[in-house]
Amino acid sequence: MVDNAHVITSTDGKVAFSAWRLGEQQGHINIGHNCLVCPGVRLDSANEILIVDNIMLAAGVYITDADWHDIYDGTRSTDTTRPVTYLPM
């Protein structure tokens, strides 16, 4: 359960969270406590994206854990996926 997660959207800045299934592998997106997601943010997961507590994702940020640019089928991830965790400095 996430506490105090805020997602802000606008007509020209929609937010999109997508978790894809690739064969037996299911993508996951986990957002921590007290996070802010601003307009236009996109998260696309084929493996795992973890946004830890107290993070703000600025407007227009795009985070993915896969290379979606396979030369034969751009709708599928290549076999090179890795988990992504954002940790503030």
* Cα(78)–Cα(37) distance, integer angstroms: 27
What DSSP element (H or E) covers 30? strand 28-31
Using one digit for the tens of pLDDT, what is the confidence trace for 18-45?
Answer: 999 888 889 999 999 999 999 999 999 9
pLDDT surpassing 90 at residue 56:
yes
pLDDT of residue 71: 62
Please report which confidence band the pLDDT of residue 87 belongs to, taking 50, 70 and 90 as the band edges.
confident
pLDDT of residue 72: 61
- Alpha helix positions (H), the chain: none
- Give pTM, 2 decimals: 0.76
